[in-house]
C-alpha cells in the first residue's frame, strides 16, 4: 500500500455531522468516487489486496460495497455477487439476520450465487460495529464459500467492529 495514496484518500473523506441522526459523524466517500484518480486508486487498493488470492467471486455489501466490489471483480476477472438487504433481490434467496441498535435486519444472497468451495472476497466501504459484515461472513460460509479476505476502504477503529467478524483476514485501507 502506498502511504501517499492512503493519505490522499483519507484527506478526501468528508465528515458530515449529525447524519443520519444527531451524534453520528458520517464518513462521506463521494469525493473519492467523483474524482477519477482517487476512485481508480481506491479500486487498485482492493485489487492489489486480492492479487495472489485466486478469487472466484467478490461479494459486495449493499450499497457502496457494490461500487468497489464490482469494479474490483472486473479487474480481477472474477464474478460479482450483490449482497442486499432483505426483500431487494428478485430470485430465491438465503438470508442471515443480525442485530441493530434498535431491532434487527437481514442480508440476502441468491441461493445459487455461491457454489460450495468457491473462493470469495467480501468487500464493503466501511467497517463500523461489524454487524452487517459479520452476517455477510456467516452467510458466505453457510453457502459453502471459502472466505479468503474481508476488505474495507474505511474502518472506524473506535467502534471495534473487527471483534464481531471473527475472521483472520481483515484489511482496512483507511482508519479513523
What pLDDT does residue 110 have?
A: 98
What pLDDT does residue 124 have?
A: 98
Contact 67, 33 (CB under 8 A): yes
What pLDDT does residue 103 have?
A: 77
The CB-based long-range contact list for 160-166 (8 Å cut-off, 24+ gap) reads 160/129, 160/130, 161/127, 161/128, 161/129, 161/130, 161/131, 161/133, 162/127, 162/130, 163/130, 164/129, 164/130, 164/131, 164/133, 164/134, 165/127, 165/130, 165/133, 165/134, 165/137, 166/134, 166/137
The predicted model gives 79-102 an average pLDDT of 93
Put simply, whether the predicted model's pTM sits higher than 0.85 gets the answer yes
DSSP string, 79-126: EEEEEEETT--SS-EEEEEEEETTEEEEEEEETTSS-TT-EEEEEEEE
pLDDT at residue 101 is higher than 90:
no
Quick check: is 144 in a domain?
yes
Quick check: is 118 in a domain?
yes
In Å, what is the CA distance from 153 to each residue of 43, 46, 124? Answer: 9, 8, 7
Percent of the chain surpassing pLDDT 70? 99
Quick check: is 65 in a domain?
yes
Active site residues: 64, 101
What pLDDT does residue 54 have?
A: 97
CATH code, 72: 3.40.50.2020
pLDDT at residue 99 is higher than 90:
no
Quick check: is 71 in a domain?
yes
Quick check: is 13 in a domain?
no
What pLDDT does residue 120 have?
A: 98
How many domains in the chain? 1
Domain residues for the domain of 138 are 52-175
In this prediction, residue 1 has a pLDDT band, given cuts at 50, 70 and 90, of confident
What pLDDT does residue 167 have?
A: 73
Strands 93-100 and 79-85: unpaired
What pLDDT does residue 70 have?
A: 98
Quick check: is 27 in a domain?
no
What pLDDT does residue 115 have?
A: 98
Quick check: is 162 in a domain?
yes
The predicted model gives 3-20 an average pLDDT of 97
- Least confident range of 20-24, 65-69, 119-123: 20-24
Quick check: is 7 in a domain?
no
The average confidence (pLDDT) of the chain is 96
Question: What does the pLDDT look like over 143-175, one tens digit per residue?
Answer: 999 999 999 999 999 999 999 998 779 999 999
Amino acid at each position: 500500500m502506498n502511504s501517499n495514496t492512503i493519505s490522499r484518500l483519507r484527506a478526501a473523506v468528508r465528515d458530515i455531522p449529525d447524519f443520519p441522526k444527531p451524534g453520528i459523524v458520517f464518513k462521506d466517500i463521494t469525493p473519492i468516487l467523483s474524482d477519477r484518480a482517487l476512485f481508480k486508486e481506491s479500486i487498485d487498493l482492493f485489487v492489489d489486496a486480492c492479487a495472489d488470492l485466486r478469487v472466484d467471486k467478490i461479494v459486495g455489501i449493499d450499497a457502496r460495497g457494490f461500487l468497489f466490489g464490482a469494479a474490483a471483480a472486473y479487474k480481477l476477472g472474477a464474478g460479482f455477487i450483490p449482497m442486499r438487504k432483505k426483500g431487494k433481490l428478485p430470485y430465491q434467496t438465503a438470508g442471515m439476520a443480525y442485530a441493530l441498535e434498535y431491532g434487527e435486519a437481514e442480508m440476502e444472497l441468491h441461493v445459487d450465487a455461491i457454489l460450495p468451495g468457491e473462493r470469495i472476497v467480501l468487500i464493503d466501504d466501511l467497517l463500523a460495529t461489524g454487524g452487517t459484515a459479520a452476517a455477510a461472513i456467516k452467510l458466505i460460509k453457510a453457502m459453502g464459500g471459502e472466505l479468503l479476505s474481508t476488505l474495507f476502504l474505511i474502518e472506524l477503529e473506535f467502534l471495534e467492529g473487527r471483534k464481531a467478524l471473527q475472521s483472520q483476514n481483515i484489511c482496512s485501507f483507511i482508519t479513523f
